[in-house]
Structure 1
Amino acid sequence: MSLIILGVDPGSRITGFGVVRVENGKIEHINHGVILLDADQGFPARMTELGSAFREVMEKYKPHQVVIEKIFLGKNADSAFKLGHARGVVMYEAGLGGATVAEYATRLVKKGITGNGGSSKEDVQAMLKAMLNIKAINRIDASDALAMACYHAFELKKKAVLQRAVSV
């Protein structure tokens, strides 16, 4: 059976997405890109625009599962709140589209992709290009989203192996 996973790096101005298919234990790159929101619009209008654009991504790829970056509290509380709103919009649209939602911390994803939770975004991107056999990932937001999708595929495979080991 084929499983479509949509990874998302949510943002209030740029939201990255990455789509992979998992079939027979192999991860295949489908597509990746970004949703660019109009920075001249007010925040509520951008969230409406994000919802509409993300709905189109959901309709185009029909993912079974959506994977989203867990929120982290940096130095700027306002940024964290805006990120939370963007995550909410994405989760809402994922639910409407019939997908289940998973969340992972960025450090965990970096560790799973490169072996080091403190890896640079460029190191993660280089590993993804090699792993998925793609030439370029033009936006770091799309790369982060692809990393989410691939990490989730690894976690699902690990869970399946553990279940088989326990049920023997």
Structure 2
Amino acid sequence: MILIGLDPGLGCTGWGVIAAEGNRLSHIANGQIRTDASRALPERLVKLAGELGDVLAQYRPAAAAVEEVFVNENPQSTLKLGQARGVVLLCAAQNGIAVGEYAARLVKKAVVGTGAAAKQQVHAMVSMLLPGAKIAGADAADALAVAITHAHLLASNRALKGHAA
């Protein structure tokens, strides 16, 4: 199964595509979609939607996972993050892709073992779990971590259903 993880942000949205076959995970691609802060908000959202649409069309994931919004001290930053996240959710929905949503602490705990992990720890563990992957940056590493979390939870759910039968 092809999965895409997404770490939404208005300035930079990370994305990571993995293949999950049972407990085996393999890296397919990752990247970052950057928008120009000097542009108007609607233009930035259109750019995000267009580039993400291209990624979804290219890799055709069966499922998506998105990091949930966390509240910043700056309400404007939180609002912009929410708007970018809305575009990400809309793009997935328009492509008929089911979306799992995960809190950042849960992703860190699933990948690193502690919900208080630093970004560098997440990046290091993603590199270990997906050997050979050239990670485009911190946001792409976070997106891959979200995809890995989703893959693990999907596998656990399948195992539990098989056990209950």
TM-score by length of 2: 0.96
| CA-CA distance at 1:135 after TM superposition | 5.2
- Alignment deviations for residues 94-115 of structure 1 (CA, whole Å, 9 cap, x no partner): 1111211110000000000011
Cα deviation digits, residues 9-59 of structure 1 (max 9, x gap):
111111100000112331110011101112221111100111111100110
**Does the alignment pair 1:139 with 2:160?**
no
The residue number in structure 2 matching 1:66 is: 64
Query: Could you tell me which residue of structure 1 aligns to residue 30 of structure 2?
Result: 32
Distance 2:152 2:32 in 1: 23
Alpha-carbon distance in 2 for matches of 1:68, 1:84: 12
User: Hey, what does 2:12 align to over in structure 1?
Assistant: 14
Structure 1 segments, 4+ long, off by >3 Å, are: none
- Equivalent of 2:86, from 81, 88, 93? 88
Aligned partners of 2:6 and 2:67 also within 8 Å = yes
Of 148, 152, 155, the match for 1:154: 152
Moved more, 62-71 or 21-30: 21-30
Alpha-carbon distance in 2 for matches of 1:89, 1:19 = 18
Separation (CA, whole Å) in 1 of partners of 2:136 and 2:26: 18
Paired residue type of 2:16: G
Q: Deviations over 1:59-96 (max 9, x none)?
A: 01111111111111121111111111111111111111
Name stretches of at least 5 consecutive residues in structure 2 with no aligned partner.
Answer: none
For the residues of structure 2 that align with 1:50 and 1:135, how far apart are their CA atoms? 24
Alignment match, 2:107: 109
Equivalent runs, 1:42-61 vs 2, <5 Å: 42-61=40-59
Deviation at residue 134 of structure 1 after TM alignment: 2.3
Per the alignment, residue 41 of structure 1 pairs with 39
CA distance in 1, matches of 2:145, 2:137: 13
Q: Quote the residue 1:165 is aligned against.
A: 163
**Normalised TM-score (structure 1):** 0.95
Structure-2 separation of matches of 1:85 and 1:92: 11
Provide the rounded CA distance (Å) in 2 between the counterparts of 1:30 and 1:144: 15
RMSD over aligned CA atoms reads: 1.0
In the alignment, is the contact (CA less than 8 A) between 2:16 and 2:141 conserved in 1?
yes
| Percent identity of paired positions between Structure 1 and Structure 2 | 39
The CA distance in 2 between the partners of 1:165 and 1:138, in whole Å, is 39
| Equivalent in the alignment of 2:121 | 123
Total equivalences in the alignment: 165
